[in-house]
Chain A
């Protein structure tokens, strides 16, 4: 930082010399040093997560996604509570009513309140999505972590298995499993995760392989740090970014799969409702003009998928250290 004791002589912008001799004589004295002068000004250093959060915050689209998701989750929790009607009670005099003051989202063909059903459906759909993603994460991180960390023969065998499982057509297998196990909430989650963890395992393994060879991990190893501690201290924080991004893809994909399976009649069974099942019911209703019976579940499926997708994109940009400036 410059010494500002002679303010009258500060050469601000526009004050440039036309020849050396123009410089005032009294400035020709040795420069007084003020301690750490030679050290360059360093911009404040932020941790990886602070930095990522700052970048995410600037991404309007991703923040929209995040806010929409929070609202959807809050509505899934409190929607059925603030609703005026029950989600399962069938009022035969109130069938196929359009949205109104009493029925905010209208009623379905059995006279059930669409508002209450939509948020019950949200609970189920979001539950399926989050559960499937977390179970995938759990199995995938363990499997991929071990495979990548152990390396060598273990990795070779474990990855051969993954490679073969990865070749299995995902939805076909899920359909087959559901035909065998019978439809239902737990079987859907089970079927989705039996085949779904493979992708996560591959990603985690790739990350671990890459990071394992970084100098800082090698350094910990040479100091004799225990394996579990290396995994906890070094590998996990560094793979977190990729894992979070993968999660934002798995959750909507599970929600979509559930909707798709409901459409095939293999999804959640009545009296429970999921968005997929409601949309399936609404498909026939739309042709008779009861648009709200399709609109609300379809809209919220799409909105959820949208929110997860833009949030995932934003997270990917925010967590990618390559883009760090």
Chain B
């Protein structure tokens, strides 16, 4: 991976009271030498890897379960992707679908942070033993 540039996508959970404008202003002050672009879902932040590591630590500390993040392949405002220049957004369908799930993930993370560690474990489906299958078949013969 290129170490020259790291672009991160920061997305605000729909349940959060933080606005993209507040997020941009805060992220901008977290470290020198960072470029931040406001978007409808949050912001794009771009800097070198070390600065980004510091910024992400601060973002996690400030907006623990309200802001979610991932690395972005394209630079911020890239004309191949930027809507302002009629770029295509093939990944946007997924972002939108995951955005709808964020309040659920946020509440789950809040509960784990509050120490409520119990959750309903899904039942493992196992193949039916031949003996049981035979008994069922014979019972309904």
Chain B associates with chain A: no
Interface residues of B (CB under 8 A from A): none
Interface residues of A (CB under 8 A from B): none
